[in-house]
Each structure stands twice: as structure tokens, then as C-alpha cells.
Amino acid sequence: MSNMVTIGEQPPQEVLAAQPLTAGGLQVTEKAIKRVRIAMAKEGISPDEGGMRIGVMGGGCSGLSYSIKFDTQPRERDRIYEFDGVRVFVDPKSFLYLHGMTLDYEETLMRQGFNFINPNAARSCGCGSSFS
């Protein structure tokens, strides 16, 4: 079965489910949202007030590293995005590097974890958490 869709035709349900949710220049896949919900529940963070913080910091193999952590509430200057009930906080400096990025969750025999798909990265290293 092909996933190709012609104009005017409704895409198959599995194609619709695979599309990432988009808000304000960021995209998060359903797999990532599901994993964030599980992690927030384990950490005891309320989805009404808290959320996942994604950011960029100096360091790593390629010069900059991605960071993910959970926060009980947003900071004053954060951009706040909501994806299917999951809030994502991004500080203004990190947004410059993350605008247009897709956050996915990958679970394979070789790797398990969040995957940053960032069109702004000129190069990245093999670990997947460092870029320039």
C-alpha cells in the first residue's frame, strides 16, 4: 500500500496520524507527545501548570547542545507552546536556534530517546544531541 495521496483525495488515517503537530514554528510528533506525558507523570509535574523545557546551551561535540528538562511552571520571558495538552517552554535565546525544529521520539534496537530534527543546524555529531 502506498502512502501517496493525490489532490482532492483524503489521506489514509495512518498518514494523518504520522503528521507532527505544529505551533509557532515548532513541531512535535505524536510519539514525542506521548513520551512527554509519561515522563511528566513520573516526575509528578502537573500538565496544567508545568511542561517540558527545551533549549540550547553551549558545549557538546559540535559547539551547541540540546537540553530537555521538566519545569513546574514557565519563566517570565518563555515562549509557551501547547501540543495536544502538553506545554513546551522555550527561552528567547534558544528559540533563535530551535525555530522550525521538529521534536520526535525514537525507539529502536540501537537508540531510544528524543530526536531533534533541526533545519537550522549546519552540522551535527553522531550522538544527536550536539550541533552547530
Give 130's pLDDT tier (boundaries 50, 70, 90): very low
Q: With contact defined as beta carbons under 8 Å apart, do 100 and 123 qualify?
A: no
Letter for the amino acid at 9?
E
Going by pLDDT thresholds of 50, 70 and 90, the confidence category of residue 35 is very high
Task: Looking at the structure, give the CATH architecture of the domain made up of residues 20-131.
Answer: Sandwich (2.60)
110 pLDDT higher than 80: yes
The per-residue DSSP string of 32-84 comes to HHHHHHHHHHHHT--TTT-EEEEEEEE-STTSEEEEEEEESS--TT-EEEEET
Q: What does pTM read for this prediction?
A: 0.74
Residue boundaries of the structural domains of the chain: 20-131
The whole-angstrom separation of Cα 12 and Cα 2 is: 10
